[in-house]
A and B are shown apart, each in its own frame.
Chain A
């Protein structure tokens, strides 16, 4: 063989060729699959929203079920301008985190659902767990303060520990808890360690070994729900 495989020239050429080939391959794969991935993500979001009002949808009928139950498909934005149907795609994380936005310019979407002729208000919540983002949807009944159902999800929490927040045994604890007292004053749902979370006392039991994630859920629901409770109060007055 004429090529000296230990020469700098060969090493560099190999590295460059490898980077180009691998880079192209990944870029093509990412672009080619993006459409499908986005569709999957949006289906999943619809399933989670429906999950909060205890409607089980599958990936196949997510859009159909969503259109059936979410009556205000503009999924109302509670402050700022009316951005219509696009509010489904609002990046809530940005709305909460972006410090350059004035409070009145923040778009907080609200999904108004109707099931068995009862109205439910589904609130998106988002925050941070131990390793990455966590998010969820909390449905309130038409009294604006009783939680009807909740779903949580995460990106990369520790399996078997923090990741358990997405299990029903955890999210079901939120059902029927109150996020505001009779006069409409916001009260956070606290995640506790001492096992006193059962019953309706604005407390839920955290997850053993998932302390940081549990704390993250508490922070997330507190920060987010308060914004919405204040909005509901302004409706009542």
Chain B
């Protein structure tokens, strides 16, 4: 066991963080976690809060599973992961309710969505279970940012065209409305989230042709 100690931010470790932002993005390439991408991208603020919440849970989940990876019996590993994620989410929710009630109100429905987020289970199963704690932590950071930026971009377009606002602030001036401009109600409804994600995937693949599958 005389492995040479790897630098904290070696090239390999940096790749763990940067890959999920683009080339192996959990939403646009792996198409995971789109249920939440669909549900909470009506407003930028909510997409942002959701991204932070997922990041917190993924960070701790990845670290805990990675630290216990040699103890977890493989036959019940999925159950164990689920229990860890659920316990973390409930714990965070209880703490928020007690100490930051306003934030807890904002999160309300997201809490349940975090437990079922496929990205979290996916990373626990695919990465944390087979890697050390530090790389797992980096992997969690990378994936949650990769998830977050797509969410925020989708929410940006949906809020801008759906409500004329960004972060709840009116962006499209009143004079446009007087001239006959109307908010596109379609943008508020869930299907437009899928279409927006699809447009992002299109843009990404036309830029990075390696991602296109061969039939």
1/0 contact string of B66-86 vs chain A (CB within 8 Å): 000001111110011001100
Select one of B43, B91, B95 contacting A25, CB under 8 A: B91
Q: Are A10 and B73 in contact (CB under 8 A)?
A: yes
Docked Cα-Cα span, A40 to B98, in Å, equals 7
Main secondary structure of the interface of A (DSSP, over half): helix
Q: Are B97 and A37 in contact (CB under 8 A)?
A: yes
Docked Cα-Cα span, A11 to B76, in Å, equals 7
Stretch in A79-87, A104-112, A155-163 with 4+ CB within 8 Å of B? A155-163
- Give the residues from 36 to 66 in chain B that come closer than 8 angstroms, CB to CB, to chain A: 39-40, 42-43, 46
Q: Are A33 and B94 in contact (CB under 8 A)?
A: yes
Q: Are B42 and A26 in contact (CB under 8 A)?
A: no
Q: Are B98 and A14 in contact (CB under 8 A)?
A: no
Q: Are B108 and A156 in contact (CB under 8 A)?
A: yes
Tell me, yes or no, whether B90 is within 8 Å of chain A by CB: yes
Q: Are B73 and A14 in contact (CB under 8 A)?
A: yes
1/0 contact string of A7-24 vs chain B (CB within 8 Å): 000110011001100100
Q: Which residues of A contact B42 (CB under 8 A)?
A: 159-161
Q: Which residues of B contact A157 (CB under 8 A)?
A: 109
Q: How large is the interface on A (under 10, 10 to 19, 20 to 34, 35 or more residues)?
A: 20 to 34
Give B108's nearest chain A residue, CB to CB. A156
Tell me, yes or no, whether A99 is within 8 Å of chain B by CB: no
Q: Are A29 and B95 in contact (CB under 8 A)?
A: yes
Docked Cα-Cα span, A160 to B44, in Å, equals 10
Q: Are A156 and B189 in contact (CB under 8 A)?
A: no
Q: Which residues of B contact A26 (CB under 8 A)?
A: 87, 90-91, 94
Q: Are A208 and B188 in contact (CB under 8 A)?
A: yes
Tell me, yes or no, whether A68 is within 8 Å of chain B by CB: no
* Known contacts A6-B73, A11-B75, A40-B101, A159 near B87 by CB under 8 Å: no
1/0 contact string of A78-97 vs chain B (CB within 8 Å): 00000000000000000000
1/0 contact string of B94-110 vs chain A (CB within 8 Å): 11011101100100111
Docked Cα-Cα span, A230 to B99, in Å, equals 41
Q: Are B83 and A159 in contact (CB under 8 A)?
A: no
Q: Are B98 and A36 in contact (CB under 8 A)?
A: yes
Q: Which residues of A contact B109 (CB under 8 A)?
A: 131, 156-159, 163
Q: Are B185 and A14 in contact (CB under 8 A)?
A: no
Tell me, yes or no, whether A209 is within 8 Å of chain B by CB: yes
Which one of B73, B80, B189 has the greatest number of beta carbons of chain A within 10 Å? B73
Docked Cα-Cα span, A209 to B71, in Å, equals 47
Binding site for A on B (CB under 8 A): 39-40, 42-43, 46, 71-76, 79-80, 83-84, 87, 90-91, 94-95, 97-99, 101-102, 105, 108-110, 112, 185, 188-189
State the 3 A-B residue pairs at the shortest beta-carbon distance, nearest first. Answer: A160-B42, A33-B98, A36-B98
Besides the contacts A59-B102, A155-B108, what 12 more A-B pairs have beta carbons closer than 8 Å?
A5-B71, A18-B80, A26-B91, A29-B91, A29-B95, A30-B94, A44-B105, A59-B101, A156-B108, A157-B109, A163-B108, A208-B185
